[in-house]
Structure 1
Amino acid sequence: MKINLIAPVHRKQNFKRYFQIAPLNLMMIASITPSDINVEILDENIDTIDYNSPVDLVGIGANTSEVNRAYEICDEFRKRGIAVVIGGIHASALPDEAGEHADSVVIGEAEGLWEKVIDDFRKGTLAKFYKHEAFPDISRLPLPDRAVLKNKRYLTRNVFQLSRGCPFRCVFCSVTEFFGNTFRVRNEDQVIEEIERMDGKFLIFVDDNIFGDPGYATKLLEKMIPLKKKWVSQCTLHLADNSRLLNLATKSGCMGMLIGVESISRNSLRASGKPINFNRYKEMIQRILDSGIGIDGSFIFGFDNEDTSIFERTLEFIVKMRLPAATFSILTPYPGTKLKEKLEEEERIIDRNWEHYNGIHAVFRPARMTPDQLEEGRTWIKQEFYSYMNIFKRVGFFGDHLIYQWLYNLLKKGGTSKVKQKTASNPHILEY
């Protein structure tokens, strides 16, 4: 029996195809697939799908912005009589929609369900929907099957996940709907064993908040120090208030963090539901930077109190703070979020093309600017922030992890224009 596990293409700029990280979700599913089954991972960001190649079952997962492409793939396989199972955040939020394109829908996390899917498929009793009664225990997950990605060209296969869930309830975030608002962690000794097996020195933790359980993070980082690795992840500004954890992060090799700063507007921050003390923003950011850890600050535009001045004010703030990097997104009402419920009630959603739910399109009517102004403002601030002059002002030629900071900025700079054209090599790859 053969199963194809498929990751649909990201709609990103063409050159970033050479900077892909391995799909951890598919490696995890491969690891819980019975050993007598031949598993092949097809990542459309680097692979071409052969719909006529012999296969018995297809599994596919997608976020909202990728789901249109995922549905196209599902439909092509089903035309050939091949059963398809779909999962992921979008399918979990809208299972009936996903079920129109797949034989079966996995709602929520795959562990504990995928094994049942395989068993039912073999018996010829595949159900339409599979769903957990409770969030699964992840303390002793099997290690991801990285061998299934042999000979594939990725920036790194060293992708790890320590935890799932988030205690916060930000109105725009679908994480708590998918993973819950309780924090679940893996056994730290198992994580250390997994890290010791990896090739190379650099790794990525894909956790939404790696320090969500400070006690757990403390024990893990202490065990990581002797391994002499370099790593990046995501966290909140609360890291600044835990000097011991901040010190351990530095000693264990942390190079940088993606941090949800969200907005420089007090009212926007309040509207987002993010529990951060606005008055201490500058102090908290500076404390993390002073520790030698770089920050990629994530900013969201489009909250109801914001007009077009928010873009210039944000640029002034982040250049003055010398943030090493920043990510700029448009507020997006993803399925399953409180934001989507609110905008639906107010009849402000103007675009229901899921491909546009990617943080660079305005899919709703903002309160104090037009959708075009919101999109143009987001494009403008990215172009300005990643101009060579501003990169030099922020990064300079001295400091910690200098080569990494410059390479990271140049990589992010590569996508500062709007959608240009489809590429000849793959019509589903767009350039931004």
Structure 2
Amino acid sequence: MKKLLLINPVSEFRRGFLRSESAKFPPLVYGILAALTPDNWEIEILDENFDEFTFQEADLVGLTAYTSSIYRAYEIAAVYRKKNIPVVIGGVHVSMMPKEAIQYADSVVVGEAESVWKNVIADFENGKLQQFYYGTRLSLDQIPKAKHELFHKDYFIGSIMTTRGCPFDCSFCTVTAFNGSKYRMRPVENVLDELETIPQENFFFIDDNIIGYSKQSRDHAKAIFQGMIDRGIKKKWWSQASLNFADDPDLLKLAFESGCRMIFIGIESEKTEGLESTNKKLNLKIGVDKYETAFKRIHDAGIAILGSFIFGLETDTTRDLINRKDYIINSSIDCYQAAILTPMPGTQTFKQLSKENRISRNNYPFDWQYYSGEDIAFTPSKMSEKELLDIMKLNRYELYGKKTMIKKFIKTLRATRSTDAAVWAISSSISYRNMLMDIYGDERFTIESLIGSLNMKLPEK
């Protein structure tokens, strides 16, 4: 029996939101590829989120990685290639940089891998592995249930996919370039069947927008939520959605009743100019003056909001960085990701900054480790790199300080009337803070140490 070893690499820099505990999910694509691999193969996932890498014998090695971890993926690939074990690599980064990737792997899958994986395996078995495979965007009814039993047992949060694609093509985002502008939806029954195989009590819909952009896509989300209720799938979950998640009261009600306790929304900026600089069309259409109205509707449904904000936009001054921090603190956002603009390969931001010779971290592939949202990889237009980093360090100390997080926790409790939602929100903030403190070297918090100071009893899990 041949052995396929799938490796989930983690950068030794270990920076960024993706490194925080609240954003640590099973590598879902490996579970899907495992389901597409013939039964006469042994399959194992080696996951650096939990296990230190040690060489394991295999006939074929598969790798995928975020941009910030791609250097680590190349390091691991080198170990196996030196032993003449073929390495196949795929994912968003290598799809945007295939000429780079082929220098470090035997085969590169460009685009979504599911459509070509059986060809990859067949070609390997016949000794004819190709240098490049070009995936097409399949109808999602062709995506099998992921083999969740292969994922590491210590994942606290499970993961599942229901949709792919986005029509908006925000300047900093790779989703449209990789998954296409067409919004594709997976059959509801397929989603529900897979949900019943997820062992964790909590899970993440990995969709870039769980509700989509049309009545049809909202109805698809509602059908999933209703199906979870009807089948008695009693799990708590969170996902990503656009701000119009707030527009449909029935959807909000079903989301909460099916277990939604937190929703990740890309706010990016509280200023119209900032939204225009990122091509954030939907937020512009809604209007920054309507943000709080939308937040209140979501809170009224019992759901907390994890807001994503970008610092260092083309329009940002040093004062804007401070004002954005103050806006976050004073807003009704419950928890937040405060990221530095990062020019990911394949995005309009990367293309523009490259054209203007403003990419400062360009010793590739090593410097990809700085493309995490916590470091800076470009020269800002209205300040120095040092000014941006210095202000962001001060901003984060205030955003993730004990006083701020306790105030946010109390506000979330009052706004949502949901202990679950409040605990999820503050847990996310603590996780993100502790990741930052690993960088800055300061005190780590626990939820018990924070809420314990309020003399409040945590709910039983």
Post-superposition Cα deviations, 1:226-285, rounded to whole Å, max 9, x if no partner, equal 323211000011111222212221222210011100011210101111121223122222
C-alpha distance in structure 1 between counterparts of 2:195 and 2:424, whole Å: 21
Q: Determine what percentage of the aligned residue pairs are the same residue.
A: 35
Match of residue 95, structure 2, among 85, 92, 107: 92
> Shift of residue 21 of structure 1?
2.5
Post-superposition Cα deviations, 1:322-364, rounded to whole Å, max 9, x if no partner, equal 3210001111111111111111111111112111011111111
Which moves more between the two structures, 257-266 or 16-25?
16-25
Query: Could you say which structure has the higher helix fraction?
Result: 2
Paired position in structure 1 for 2:45: 41
Paired position in structure 2 for 1:429: none
Question: In the alignment, is residue 248 of structure 1 matched against residue 254 of structure 2?
Answer: yes
Paired position in structure 2 for 1:172: 172
> Shift of residue 200 of structure 1?
4.6
Unpaired segments ≥5 residues, structure 2: 442-461
Which residues in structure 2 correspond to 1:55-74 (within 5 Å)? 55-74=58-77
Match of residue 25, structure 2, among 21, 27, 31: 21
Question: In the alignment, is residue 260 of structure 1 matched against residue 266 of structure 2?
Answer: yes
C-alpha distance in structure 1 between counterparts of 2:426 and 2:314, whole Å: 35
Paired position in structure 2 for 1:344: 354
User: Do 1:21 and 1:154's aligned partners in 2 also have CA atoms closer than 8 Å?
Assistant: yes
Paired position in structure 2 for 1:367: 381
Q: 1:193 to 1:135 in 2, by over 3 A?
A: same
> Shift of residue 219 of structure 1?
1.6
Paired position in structure 1 for 2:195: 195
Which residues in structure 2 correspond to 1:277-316 (within 5 Å)? 277-316=287-326
C-alpha distance in structure 2 between counterparts of 1:344 and 1:63, whole Å: 20
C-alpha distance in structure 1 between counterparts of 2:140 and 2:350, whole Å: 29
C-alpha distance in structure 1 between counterparts of 2:336 and 2:200, whole Å: 27
3-state secondary structure, aligned to 1:232: strand
Paired position in structure 2 for 1:394: 408
C-alpha distance in structure 1 between counterparts of 2:384 and 2:144, whole Å: 49
User: Do 2:269 and 2:310's aligned partners in 1 also have CA atoms closer than 8 Å?
Assistant: yes
> Shift of residue 408 of structure 1?
2.7
C-alpha distance in structure 2 between counterparts of 1:286 and 1:379, whole Å: 30
C-alpha distance in structure 2 between counterparts of 1:45 and 1:405, whole Å: 22
Paired position in structure 2 for 1:129: 132
* Runs of 4+ residues deviating >4 angstroms: 13-19
3-state secondary structure, aligned to 2:332: coil
Match of residue 102, structure 1, among 105, 110, 129: 105
C-alpha distance in structure 1 between counterparts of 2:211 and 2:3, whole Å: 39
Paired position in structure 2 for 1:30: 34
> Shift of residue 17 of structure 1?
6.7
C-alpha distance in structure 1 between counterparts of 2:387 and 2:115, whole Å: 46
Match of residue 383, structure 1, among 397, 400, 420: 397
AA aligned to 2:340 is I
3-state secondary structure, aligned to 1:328: strand
User: Do 1:19 and 1:155's aligned partners in 2 also have CA atoms closer than 8 Å?
Assistant: no
AA aligned to 2:170 is C
TM-score by length of 2: 0.86
Paired position in structure 1 for 2:6: 5
User: Do 1:17 and 1:45's aligned partners in 2 also have CA atoms closer than 8 Å?
Assistant: no
TM-score by length of 1: 0.92
User: Do 2:262 and 2:305's aligned partners in 1 also have CA atoms closer than 8 Å?
Assistant: yes
3-state secondary structure, aligned to 1:90: helix
AA aligned to 1:259 is I
AA aligned to 2:373 is G
Question: In the alignment, is residue 221 of structure 1 matched against residue 231 of structure 2?
Answer: no
CA RMSD of aligned residues (A): 2.0
Question: In the alignment, is residue 406 of structure 1 matched against residue 416 of structure 2?
Answer: no
Post-superposition Cα deviations, 1:104-162, rounded to whole Å, max 9, x if no partner, equal 00001111211101100111111100003x41121242111112236x32223x21110
3-state secondary structure, aligned to 1:82: coil
C-alpha distance in structure 1 between counterparts of 2:387 and 2:23, whole Å: 31
C-alpha distance in structure 1 between counterparts of 2:239 and 2:195, whole Å: 15
> Shift of residue 411 of structure 1?
1.9
**How many residues matched?**
417
C-alpha distance in structure 2 between counterparts of 1:116 and 1:55, whole Å: 19
User: Do 1:161 and 1:207's aligned partners in 2 also have CA atoms closer than 8 Å?
Assistant: yes
C-alpha distance in structure 2 between counterparts of 1:284 and 1:403, whole Å: 21
Q: 1:19 to 1:232 in 2, by over 3 A?
A: closer
> Shift of residue 418 of structure 1?
6.7
Q: 1:370 to 1:271 in 2, by over 3 A?
A: same
C-alpha distance in structure 1 between counterparts of 2:432 and 2:402, whole Å: 12
AA aligned to 2:80 is F
3-state secondary structure, aligned to 2:307: strand
C-alpha distance in structure 2 between counterparts of 1:271 and 1:165, whole Å: 22
> Shift of residue 310 of structure 1?
1.8
AA aligned to 1:386 is Y
Question: In the alignment, is residue 144 of structure 1 matched against residue 150 of structure 2?
Answer: no
Match of residue 330, structure 2, among 320, 323, 331: 320
> Shift of residue 39 of structure 1?
0.6
User: Do 1:4 and 1:58's aligned partners in 2 also have CA atoms closer than 8 Å?
Assistant: yes
User: Do 1:319 and 1:393's aligned partners in 2 also have CA atoms closer than 8 Å?
Assistant: no
C-alpha distance in structure 2 between counterparts of 1:415 and 1:48, whole Å: 19
Unpaired segments ≥5 residues, structure 1: 422-432
Post-superposition Cα deviations, 1:355-389, rounded to whole Å, max 9, x if no partner, equal 10111111111111111121222222222111111
